[in-house]
A and B are shown apart, each in its own frame.
Chain A
């Protein structure tokens, strides 16, 4: 069930790659053309925090098929990918929005009817899978998942420590074909900065073979160089850069806007009413129904977005984001 470990192949590929420091700014739709049918796509952020929604909506519009998608914690975007036929296999630790919204009904429909696979890892395990991929090693050892049915369900192997003889879980490296992440700001070369928590984006973008960054703002390289410690993704790891203000909506973006809980309420009500068809009509209306993410945001309305911004500013310290 576990995909073959590709750390050596990914390394060879990296050695053969010319990492040109050129203008990589492009459109949402051109950026996601880097993704092919059947690819493994890692999705940055976690749950409903800094989800690269603009890139995911572009991916939905591209009508790619049969993707494997991985994420630390997954939210309703996974259901959109399943219901639209974009993804058929999930590699993650959790799928839902939050207890307030109940069980994920579309996930249930697809998995319980054998229409999709959900490969479940513990949170540390998936983190160390990306980290092993980022480090260029075939696995990393750790102490989670031991003894549980999670381990047997995915076919996790263990190793004996050559020094102490202890048994350790061996988490296989994950080198996704493409990683999609949303950042607070980036320059045209792809140097990307994130404010607040960075989830698993650092490891994910080093592990992936191609990286697409959307950013709230594309800034001059001098602005990046003025605060170099904020940069979490170096330009040479990035293949495409897209500017999308509110590009994580309805997920949150630290310091800039809170998640839109009301939007989740509406989605869940639609799914409760119509099942997977509800998720499909959500995709039709919100992703297929607009040429780009700006069109979707226009339909959401500027006032609504502004109120999420005001809510965010109450929750973070002054100067937490620039």
Chain B
């Protein structure tokens, strides 16, 4: 990359941070959009033996630079795959425990990591009917460790979601385990401002590290509930020129960011 390359955008900072969570020789179940791009970046960087799984029956996706999928079930998602199977099989592999990581985007997440992609307002007479869970409920219930990747906006970080589409730590404490969700855990939340995890006892979201140039106030101002703050707050490494170059090549000019969950 030339010296004139533009500085990292908020989206790039988030994607790079998320990609670094994925270690080599592991298996990640990625939602389409930012989570999938981050997984694709990890595959091109530190994790060449990473296996990317996509819910449309796709195992070992490689992604076609510049033509990223807009949904979880299309040829762009299947490019370079090792195995194509049915959708149910993918989730049963997750239930069996083969998937080290789940990687999800969110519309709305609360202090216990619960995700809402269904209903704003009354469940029987919604103010806004959102698209629904897709595979998100399954990913966060079944993968060994799930991370949320999202832009840090107040409207996304709410104290309690109106509707728990996908269960984080429910009402905190041991409530997730008591509901029968004993197999997977929620690892943390990666944003363009920070990395957050969950307190071991209360299971409340806790600020754990800051993106470069971001203050604690910047984060709390853009969070719609009281965040716990860890005693020590390291600053995350900024994206390296190599990471940025790899990301930009992957996304390409024809790349699409969004898609089904």
Say yes or no: is B55 at the interface (Cβ < 8 Å to chain A).
yes
Interface code A96-111, partner B: CB below 8 Å = 1, 0 otherwise?
A: 1111100110011001
| B102-138 contact mask (Cβ, 8 Å, vs A): 1 or 0 | 0000000000000000100001011111111111011
Instruction: Tell me the interface secondary structure of chain B in the complex.
Output: loop
A274 CB-CB contact with B under 8 Å: no
Tell me if A146 and B87 are in contact (CB < 8 A): no
Q: How far is the CB of B143 from chain A (nearest CB, A)?
A: 11
Query: Is there contact, CB below 8 Å, between B135 and A108?
Result: no
Interface residues in B130-184 by Cβ distance below 8 A to A read: 130-135, 137-138, 141-142, 163-167, 170, 175-176, 179-183
Report the Cα distance A95→B126, complex, angstroms.
Answer: 15
Residues of chain B lying within 8 A (CB to CB) of residue A49 = 56, 71, 73-74
- Interface of chain A, main secondary structure: mixed
Check B133–A143 contact: CB distance below 8 A: no
Bound complex: CA of A93 vs CA of B118, how far in Å? 10
A198 neighbours in B (Cβ, 8 Å): 57, 85-86
Hey, which chain A residues are within 8 Å of B67, CB to CB?
315
A20-74 CB contacts (< 8 Å) to partner B: 46-49, 72-73
A131 touches B88 (CB 8 A): yes
Q: Is A77 at the interface (CB under 8 A from chain B)? A: no
Q: Decide if B165 touches A124 in the complex (CB within 8 Å).
A: no
Could you say which of B75-83, B203-211, B222-230, B243-251 contacts chain A?
A: B75-83
Nearest chain A CB to B144 CB, angstrom units: 13
CB <8 Å contact, A114 and B88 = no
In the complex, A127 has a CB within 8 A of chain B: yes
A203 at the interface (CB under 8 A from B): yes
Which chain A residues border B75 with CB–CB below 8 Å? Answer: 196, 252, 254-255, 258, 312, 315-316
Q: Does A155 contact B (CB under 8 A)?
A: no
Once the chains bind, are A203 and B88 in contact (CB under 8 Å)? Answer: yes
Given known contacts A46-B56, A144-B138, A196-B78, is B132 in contact with A118 (CB within 8 Å)?
A: yes
Which of A107, A122, A146, A199 interacts with B179 by CB under 8 Å? A146
Q: Are A112 and B127 in contact (CB under 8 A)?
A: yes
Contact residues in A for B261 (Cβ distance below 8 Å): 94
Is A288 among interface residues, defined by CB-CB distance under 8 A?
no
Given contacts A48-B71, A127-B87, contact A315 B76 (CB under 8 A): yes
User: Given A145-B141, A197-B85, A199-B87, A94 and B134 touching (CB < 8 A)?
Assistant: yes
Residues of A within 8 A of B199 (CB): none
Q: Give Cα A95 to B163, complex, Å.
A: 17
Instruction: Report the number of A-B residue pairs with Cβ-Cβ less than 8 Å.
Output: 207
Query: A316–B164 Cα gap in the complex (Å)?
Result: 38
**Judging by beta carbons under 8 Å apart, are B138 and A200 in contact?**
no
Cβ contacts under 8 Å, A199 to chain B: 56-57, 73, 86-87
Contacts of B166 in A (CB 8 A): 148
CB of A120 within 8 A of CB of B86, answer no
B58 touches A197 (CB 8 A): yes
Interface digits, B62-102 against A, CB 8 Å rule (1 contact, 0 not)? 00100100111111101100001111100110110000000
Given the contacts A143-B142, A148-B166, A199-B57, A99 and B72 also touching, CB distance less than 8 Å: no
Known: A48-B71, A94-B261, A147-B180. A108 touches B128 (CB 8 A): yes
Q: Please tell me if the beta carbons of A47 and B72 are within 8 angstroms of each other in the complex.
A: yes
- What's the minimum C-beta distance from B247 to chain A, rounded to whole angstroms? 19
The digit string for A292-310, where 1 denotes a CB below 8 A from any CB of B, is 0000000000000000000
Q: Is A137 an interface residue (CB 8 A)?
A: no
Minimum distance in angstroms from B105 CB to a CB of chain A = 8
Note all chain B residues with C-beta closer than 8 A to A252: 74-75
What is the CA–CA distance of A272 and B176 in the complex, to the nearest angstrom? Answer: 40
Q: Mark A162-198, 1 if CB is under 8 A from B, else 0.
A: 0000111100000000000000000000000000111
Please tell me if B257 contacts chain A, counting CB pairs below 8 Å.
Answer: yes
Q: Does B258 contact A (CB under 8 A)?
A: yes
With contacts A47-B72, A123-B91, A199-B57 known, is A99 near B258, CB below 8 A?
yes
Complex contact A124–B73 (CB within 8 A): no
Instruction: Choose among A48, A103, A123, A316 the residue that contacts B87 (Cβ–Cβ < 8 A).
Output: A123
- Cβ-based interface call for B47 (8 A): no
B78 and A315 form a contact (CB under 8 A): yes
Q: Mark A133-165, 1 if CB is under 8 A from B, else 0.
A: 000000000111111111001000010000000
Residues of A participating in the B interface, judged by any CB pair closer than 8 Å:
46-49, 72-73, 92-100, 103-104, 107-108, 111-112, 114, 118, 120-125, 127-128, 130-131, 142-150, 153, 158, 166-169, 196-203, 252, 254-255, 258-259, 261, 312, 314-316
Interchain residue pairs with CB less than 8 A apart (28): A92-B132, A98-B71, A98-B258, A99-B33, A99-B257, A100-B256, A100-B259, A103-B128, A107-B129, A120-B133, A123-B91, A125-B138, A127-B91, A142-B95, A144-B138, A144-B142, A146-B180, A147-B175, A148-B137, A149-B164, A196-B78, A196-B84, A197-B78, A200-B87, A202-B86, A203-B88, A258-B74, A315-B78
What 3 A-B pairs have minimum CB-CB distances, sorted nearest first? A99-B258, A147-B179, A127-B88
What residues make up the interface of B, taking CB atoms closer than 8 Å to A?
Answer: 32-33, 55-58, 64, 67, 70-76, 78-79, 84-88, 91-92, 94-95, 118, 123, 125-135, 137-138, 141-142, 163-167, 170, 175-176, 179-183, 256-261
